[in-house]
Amino acid sequence: MATLKEIANRAHVSVGTVDRVIHRRGRVSLETEQRVKRIISELDYKPNILARSLSMTKTFRFGILVPFPEQDGHYWELPLKGIEKAQSELDVYKVKVKYFYYDKYSEQSFEMACSKMLQMVRELDGLLIAPVLSQATEKFLTKIPDRLPYIFLDSYIPNSRCFSYIGEDSFQSGVLSAKLMRILVTAHGTVAIIKVQPMDYHIEDRVRGFFSYFNNNTDINLLTYTVNARESMPYYKITKKIVTENSDLIGIYTPNACAYQVADYLAEHFAGKKIFVIGYDLIKENISHLKNGSIDFLISQRSEMQGYESIFKLYKQVVLKEKVESRVLMPLDIVTKENLQFYEN
Amino acid sequence: MATLKEIANRAHVSVGTVDRVIHRRGRVSLETEQRVKRIISELDYKPNILARSLSMTKTFRFGILVPFPEQDGHYWELPLKGIEKAQSELDVYKVKVKYFYYDKYSEQSFEMACSKMLQMVRELDGLLIAPVLSQATEKFLTKIPDRLPYIFLDSYIPNSRCFSYIGEDSFQSGVLSAKLMRILVTAHGTVAIIKVQPMDYHIEDRVRGFFSYFNNNTDINLLTYTVNARESMPYYKITKKIVTENSDLIGIYTPNACAYQVADYLAEHFAGKKIFVIGYDLIKENISHLKNGSIDFLISQRSEMQGYESIFKLYKQVVLKEKVESRVLMPLDIVTKENLQFYEN
DNA sequence: ATTCCGCGCGTTATCGCACACGCAATTTAG
DNA sequence: CTAAATTGCGTGTGCGATAACGCGCGGAAT
């Protein structure tokens, strides 16, 4: 618990000098600078965060670039909840956030949000980006000023200068789903996997993981179907198609938050035979289907914690100037009827 | 973001007076006290925690009464890790902890730890108790001074004046285990449940939950065995007994952290037939058996987070004087080979 | 009447850090 | 060669709250 003052005494200088060394504000001779630095590391000096943020005049602003909260079946409300929680906890540390929403199915909307953000970029100290529209995001990244650090949430763009990625290991989450499906289905038969257009690397990765688990397994027949997310009721239609085309259907894997739509159809029009359904994310509709048994497992990627952590990592990187891990992978929680209650809220 | 000074100005008094009102230090006339209180609630004044703990002279000390870390297969290291993490984060807030360990199989050792704690009770501001030895703990509770708040970790003693309990819903965790076992075992046969002596309510609850799930299910034969924890290699012996007595054995449920001992035996002497094993807690030995497939599922009760949270709740209750929920139930994480990596560390 | 005590309040130092400012001693420019 | 700029350093103030201290006033005790 060394203080600035102690450092100063030891180095035979004033606190002002030590402060200048720490903040690289110059006006210190090379000799004293080295002496001070040595003593700082000798005493393992850590600035008192309380005092620091108490005296700090600057407030930090982070821009949040994410899809409209209600998209993906209100999925985006979950990370936003975490973001708000982090924001309120970091309020005393003078951290504010500024939201820029976009329609994840419209590049134009995305570009609108980006340009709004760029207009006030001078007031921002860091960005949180959910790069759902990967190509459009890549273009946007080139326009971000070099001084401005950014972090990815939910999914990821390779070869960018982002300082960290907060999210899941999509491939492994596919593997996990496959394992669960394997345990569930006791009989031989067909398992359908529902892909989505427009393509999303993140989701594709889950599907790849799913297939990789079943790689050398022959008694289960894997069949891929593709829906177009811009149509109306796409999952309803595709589920209908799946059940009519496969008399030996035993399971459906929905590698996104839309499992509830599949379960809806099955519950209404296919109640006779048990079809196992595995999906993602603890959104309201999925939860109620998990409760009534028409969804068997939900994989949760700690969406709320993702939002929370990403703001905290921004705080660490920008305000505290600490090193942040370049990948922070959230646990893949297996949620079922019997442990759901502890994951809700 | 009202400050003391603003309150003072509005109430036409000095900050000293407002401070005296807030901390009930007297020397304020009834009239001004009410005026100040009114303005405080009008402006929804929340003290700045940073400034508060920066200026605070008092340091808070919490006593930790838990089993030796190495007991239960080093299980207790997990909550302790969380406790240490919380302690280091709360260091700037002037929070210290003081450990009192006991042997969970010796009432005498427990009483020793208690009396040590009571000797320095005047220096303590709160207690964290793992009431593994329930009767002995009940006796101890009567000796705790009324002024001293305490919180339970891991398990619980009813009708006590503890301000909160941090842990799992043991019954429901048994239910969850049963559900998983039900999915795993496809054939008919016997599932063995291993109880422990001396009895532990917590563990018994898990077993009750397990049975309740299978209540009206007849194609699985449930059989209870009991080990004596004070013997040497008890699980080794009991597993041997189980496999020799049940030719139709298909699964074993170990409602505590000792599943690895069961798995040890099976891997060495019973490699031929697949026996499904479900156990608890991410201790090192269990983890390696999960990896090599001799344990199928581990239920994790977020042991590290339990420790972390319990210190934070003490901080909230004692230092911030905020209300704390009387029960904080941790999620029951289902851990398998495929998602283990995200729960490790 | 003087001393004394307690009440009701204001004042001020302190916590550890950030940052603006000021003041010599030098260096650079004109 | 003098004025201006720059370097190297110390001082002082503020952030918001805590808590010790001090002071006037009035009533009780001597």
| B98: enclosing H helix or E strand | strand B95-102
Which pLDDT band holds residue B48 (cuts at 50, 70, 90)?
very high
Would an 8 Å CB–CB cutoff place B319 in contact with chain A? no
With a cut of 90, say whether residue A230 has pLDDT above it. Answer: no
Average pLDDT over residues B80-108: 96
pLDDT attached to residue B77: 97
pLDDT attached to residue A227: 94
pLDDT attached to residue A279: 98
Among the listed residues B62, B65, B12, the one whose alpha carbon sits nearest the alpha carbon of residue B39: B12
pLDDT attached to residue B68: 98
Q: For the sheet with B150-154, list strands across it.
A: B95-102, B60-67, B126-129, B150-154, B164-167, B327-329
Burial of A165 from C-beta contacts in 10 A (0-12 / 13-18 / 19+) = buried
Which pLDDT band holds residue A29 (cuts at 50, 70, 90)?
very high
Cβ neighbours for B66, distance < 8 A, ≥ 6 positions apart: B76, B79, B80, B99, B100, B101, B102, B128, B129, B130, B153
Domains, in order of start, for chain A: 4-47 (1.10.260.40), 60-168+303-331 (3.40.50.2300), 170-300 (3.40.50.2300)
The answer to whether the CB atoms of A342 and B329 lie below 8 A apart is yes
Average pLDDT over residues A187-213: 93
Rounded distance in angstroms from the CA atom of residue A17 to the C1' atom of nucleotide D3 = 29
The answer to whether the CB atoms of B169 and A330 lie below 8 A apart is no
With a cut of 80, say whether residue A342 has pLDDT above it. Answer: yes
CB contact residues (below 8 A), chain A span 75-94, against chain B = 92-93
pLDDT attached to residue A197: 87
Which pLDDT band holds residue B290 (cuts at 50, 70, 90)?
very high
What's the pLDDT tens digit per position in A237-263? 999 999 999 999 999 999 999 999 999
With a cut of 80, say whether residue B318 has pLDDT above it. Answer: yes
**CB distance A340 to A291 below 8 Å:** yes
pLDDT attached to residue A215: 83
Which pLDDT band holds residue A231 (cuts at 50, 70, 90)?
confident
With a cut of 80, say whether residue B323 has pLDDT above it. Answer: yes
β-partners of residue A62 are: A97, A126
φ/ψ of residue B13, rounded to 5: -135, -175
Q: Which residues in chain B are contacts of A331 at CB distance < 8 A?
A: 333, 339, 342-343
Per-chain mean pLDDT for chain B: 95
Strand C bases, protein C-beta under 7 A: 7-12, 14-21
Cα(B38)–Cα(B136) distance, integer angstroms: 48
With a cut of 80, say whether residue A1 has pLDDT above it. Answer: no
With a cut of 90, say whether residue A195 has pLDDT above it. Answer: yes
pLDDT attached to residue B307: 98
β-partners of residue A227 are: A196
Q: For residue B114, give how far its alpha carbon lies from the nearest alpha carbon of chain A (Å).
A: 31
Q: Which residues in chain A are contacts of B337 at CB distance < 8 A?
A: 179
Average pLDDT over residues B279-286: 97
Cα(B139)–Cα(B108) distance, integer angstroms: 13
With a cut of 90, say whether residue B44 has pLDDT above it. Answer: yes
What's the pLDDT tens digit per position in B159-169? 999 999 999 99
Which pLDDT band holds residue B270 (cuts at 50, 70, 90)?
confident
Which pLDDT band holds residue B57 (cuts at 50, 70, 90)?
confident
Which range among B205-219, B247-261, B331-345 shows the weakest confidence by mean pLDDT?
Answer: B205-219
- Which residue from A minimizes the CA distance to B93? A50
Tell whether the torsion through CA atoms of B123, B126, B130 and B135 is positive or negative: positive
Q: What is the 3-state secondary structure (H, E, C) of A117-132?
A: HHHCHHHCCEEEECCC
**CB distance B279 to B174 below 8 Å:** no
Would an 8 Å CB–CB cutoff place A53 in contact with chain B? yes
Among the listed residues B177, B252, B338, the one whose alpha carbon sits nearest the alpha carbon of residue A180: B338
Average pLDDT over residues A200-211: 94
Rounded distance in angstroms from the CA atom of residue B20 to the C1' atom of nucleotide D13 = 26
In this structure, what token pair is assigned to residue A132? 């759902």
Largest interatomic CA distance in chain A: 85
Average pLDDT over residues B131-150: 95
Which range among A156-165, B43-52, B124-133, B230-239 shows the weakest confidence by mean pLDDT?
Answer: B230-239
